[in-house]
């Protein structure tokens, strides 16, 4: 039975998740500290989690939730990032297996 462990895949997926969490901190910081110019603060997270973020975000009700609870920018930033977390995990899993394929020896 083959081992599912891949050091290259693990490095790729953890690096990707690190970029996602740094983007999450940046998004929340911009939403809280610079509310006048925070319209595009979530764009980084949307780009990081593509293509899933563009396909499925409307199904999770982000625009509706924003209309109801927009008074708290911090809560909105946390909610949006938690909403995008499954998409980041899917991309991290894909990167793990791509790294695993790339590290196989002939």
Cβ atoms of 53 and 80 closer than 8 Å: no
Residues 83-99: pLDDT tens digits? 889 899 999 999 999 98
Residues 28-77: pLDDT tens digits? 898 888 877 777 777 888 888 888 877 776 666 566 666 666 677 888 88
Cβ atoms of 31 and 38 closer than 8 Å: yes
pTM: 0.79
Instruction: Give residue limits of the domains in the chain.
Output: 7-99
Q: 37 to each of 27, 33, 43, 54, 72, how far by Cα in Å?
A: 12, 10, 13, 22, 16
């Amino acid at each position: 039975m083959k081992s599912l462990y891949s050091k290259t895949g693990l490095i790729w997926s953890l690096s990707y998740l690190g970029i996602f969490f740094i983007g999450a901190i940046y998004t929340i910081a911009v939403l809280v500290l610079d509310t006048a110019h925070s319209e595009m603060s979530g764009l980084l997270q949307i780009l990081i989690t593509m293509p899933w973020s563009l396909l499925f975000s409307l199904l999770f009700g982000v625009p509706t939730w924003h209309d109801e609870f927009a008074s708290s920018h911090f809560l909105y930033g946390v909610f949006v990032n938690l909403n995008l977390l499954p998409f980041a995990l899917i991309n991290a899993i894909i990167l793990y297996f791509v790294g695993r394929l790339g590290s196989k020896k002939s």
